[in-house]
């Protein structure tokens, strides 16, 4: 293992690494550069960094204008604000004109911890997924984040990227058979009894859950979906057909995110039992990240329990 790093830090470092090669890259923030980690870019490339102040709506519009003129802006704030507060600006000023703006939401999910419900965004996937043509990406560790930022730099069009505040173990760099491509999921562990499809923080917990299940003789396949939209239909359909039941796991509301995306696909093309694991229809709360994750059942143990329930629904 390569140690712990928050995906927000990996993101901040990746921006700096890409700056030389991509002179069109500009970074905008709304007074949170110390938290979104755009501060690294700000100090390395001050001419290409624009602090818009606590005015996220304006930041979205400025980025749209810059993109209309050929720049490649990444706009940054906490996911709550960069997707929630400015949903309509993203929809009408960025996505509708198909402008090449990357919307970045740091502090996604409840693992924000102490700041509590007002800052714990559990609807960002739902909001961004609903916008026509918007790509939605949620990397699972620091290594994947680096690869995602590079891929998004090359990707032409509006996209959303979710970052996490919490430092977590980097594991994809040492996984055999791991590869990264936008829009393609990745099978991290094979199994025939059930498929656990996870994103972001829950991917490593899904792998731990598969271990717990293996101890009980259940062979779980684990699939990492970093790109929620467009979803890797082929991989998900194959998993449904081959394992016959699914658990989705995400640090997001069970409404509108990965679970919904998988249900939408399978409901139409390969109906099998799907159990959605995530935050139920409720707001987050203050506490240490570890305590909050435990409180909302975002643990490997809970994923394993959901898996057993899904298995019980399998005919």
Partner 1 sequence: MAKLYGKELQLMAAKARLLAVEAVYTAASGHPGGSLSSMDILTALYFNELNIDPSRPRWEDRDRFVLSKGHCTPALYSLLALRGFFPLEQLKLFRSIKGHMSGHPDMRHVPGVDMSTGSLGQGLSAAVGMALAAKLQGKAHRCYVLCGDGELAEGQIWEAAMAAAKWQLDNLCVFVDVNGLQIDGRTADVMPTQPLDKKFEAFNWHVIKIDGHDFEQILSALDSARSFRGKPTVILASTVKGKGVSFMENQAGWHGKAPNDEQFAQAKAELEKTIKELEGN
Query: Which of 96-104, 117-125, 173-181, 274-282 is the region at the interface with partner 1 (rule: CB under 8 A)?
Result: 96-104
State the burial class of residue 176 (Cβ atoms within 10 Å of its Cβ: 0-12, 13-18, 19+): exposed
Residue 131 is a binding residue for partner 1 (CB under 8 A): no
DSSP 228-288: EES--HHHHHHHHHHHS-EEEEEEEESSSSHHHHHHHHHHHH----EEEEEE-SS----S-
Q: What are phi and psi of 233, to 5 degrees?
A: -55, -45
Is-contact 296 268, C-beta < 8 A?
no
Task: Mark whether 156 is an active-site residue.
Answer: no
Residue 96 is a binding residue for partner 1 (CB under 8 A): yes
Q: Angle at Cα 45 formed by Cα 39 and Cα 51, nearest 5°?
A: 55
Pairing state between β 159-162 and 25-29: unpaired
Nearer to partner 1, 70 or 177 (CB): 70
Is-contact 16 44, C-beta < 8 A?
yes
> How many residues interact with partner 1 (rule CB under 8 A)?
29
Residue 10 is a binding residue for partner 1 (CB under 8 A): no
Residue 69 is a binding residue for partner 1 (CB under 8 A): yes
Residue 89 is a binding residue for partner 1 (CB under 8 A): yes
Specify the DSSP class assigned to residue 184.
B
State the minimum distance, in angstroms, from the CB of residue 130 to partner 1: 16
Nearer to partner 1, 45 or 309 (CB): 45
Residue 209 is a binding residue for partner 1 (CB under 8 A): no
Residue of 5, 18, 19, 66 that binds partner 1 (CB under 8 A): 66
Nearer to partner 1, 61 or 244 (CB): 61
Nearer to partner 1, 83 or 253 (CB): 83
What is the number of other CB atoms lying within 10 angstroms of the CB of residue 248?
31
Residue 48 is a binding residue for partner 1 (CB under 8 A): yes
Q: Catalytic one among 13, 56, 251, 305?
A: 56
- Residue 265 to residue 261: CA distance in whole angstroms: 6
What is the number of other CB atoms lying within 10 angstroms of the CB of residue 210?
25
State the minimum distance, in angstroms, from the CB of residue 32 to partner 1: 16
Residue 50 is a binding residue for partner 1 (CB under 8 A): yes
Binding site for partner 1 (CB under 8 A): 26, 47-48, 50, 52-53, 55, 57-58, 60-71, 73, 88-89, 92-93, 96-98
Catalytic residues: 56
């Amino acid at each position: 293992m390569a140690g712990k790093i928050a995906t927000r830090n990996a993101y901040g470092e990746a921006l700096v690494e890409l700056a030389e090669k991509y002179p069109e890259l500009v970074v905008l923030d709304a007074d949170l550069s110390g938290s979104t980690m755009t501060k690294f870019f700000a100090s390395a490339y001050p001419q290409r960094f624009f602090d818009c102040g606590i005015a996220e709506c304006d930041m979205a519009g400025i980025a749209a204008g810059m993109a209309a003129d050929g720049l490649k802006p990444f706009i940054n704030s906490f996911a709550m604000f960069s997707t929630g507060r400015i949903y309509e600006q993203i929809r009408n000023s960025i996505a509708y004109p198909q402008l090449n703006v990357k919307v970045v939401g740091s502090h996604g999910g409840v693992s924000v911890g102490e700041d509590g419900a007002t800052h714990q965004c559990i609807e960002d996937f739902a909001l961004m997924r609903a916008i026509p043509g918007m790509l939605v990406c949620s990397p699972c560790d620091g290594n994947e984040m680096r690869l995602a930022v590079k891929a998004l730099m090359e990707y032409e069009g509006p996209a959303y990227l979710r970052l996490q505040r919490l430092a977590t173990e980097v594991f994809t760099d040492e996984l055999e058979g791991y590869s990264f491509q936008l829009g393609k999921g990745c099978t991290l562990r094979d199994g025939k009894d059930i498929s656990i499809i996870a994103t972001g923080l829950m991917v490593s917990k899904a792998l731990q859950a598969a271990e717990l299940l293996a101890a009980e003789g259940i062979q779980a396949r684990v699939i990492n979906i970093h790109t929620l939209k467009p979803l890797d239909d082929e991989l998900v359909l194959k998993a449904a057909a081959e394992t016959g039941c699914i658990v989705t796991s995400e640090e997001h509301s069970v409404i509108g995110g990965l679970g919904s995306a998988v249900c939408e696909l399978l409901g139409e093309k390969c109906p099998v039992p799907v159990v959605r694991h995530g935050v139920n229809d409720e707001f987050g709360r203050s506490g240490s990240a570890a305590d909050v994750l435990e409180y909302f059942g975002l643990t490997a143990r809970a994923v394993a329990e959901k898996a057993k329930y899904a298995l019980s629904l399998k005919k």
